């Protein structure tokens, strides 16, 4: 078997593995993004909390947790 053919097959295998990994990452990312969008939509429709309020709560979360843990 010539060396060029081995290199070609190895590069095709690596390309296939990288492609499969990228597809799995994309699927996981899209699933997470859709889940977050559904959660934000439910919070907006059920509780009246908009995206800007939710972002404000997320930004202030470390401070709130600090106050809960250390009581200040």
Torsion of Cα atoms, 31 then 36 then 39 then 40, to 10° = -140
Q: Confidence band (pLDDT; 50, 70, 90) for 9?
A: very high
Q: Retrieve residue 48's tokens.
A: 């009246």
Position 1 pLDDT exceeds 80? no
- Phi, psi (rounded to 5 degrees) for 50: -85, 170
pLDDT at 50: 84
Rounded mean pLDDT of the chain? 92
How do residues 42-72 score in pLDDT, each as one tens digit? 988 999 888 888 889 889 999 999 999 998 6
pTM recorded for the entire structure: 0.59
Position 40 pLDDT exceeds 90? no
Asked if 29 contacts 36 with a C-beta cutoff of 8 angstroms, the reply is no
């Amino acid at each position: 078997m010539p060396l060029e053919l081995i290199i070609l097959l190895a590069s095709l295998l690596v390309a296939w593995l990288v492609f499969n990994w990228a597809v799995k990452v994309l699927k996981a990312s899209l699933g997470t993004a859709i889940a977050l969008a559904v959660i934000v939509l439910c919070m907006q429709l059920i509780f009246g909390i908009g995206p800007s309020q939710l972002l404000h709560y997320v930004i202030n979360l470390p401070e709130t947790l600090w106050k809960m843990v250390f009581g200040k």
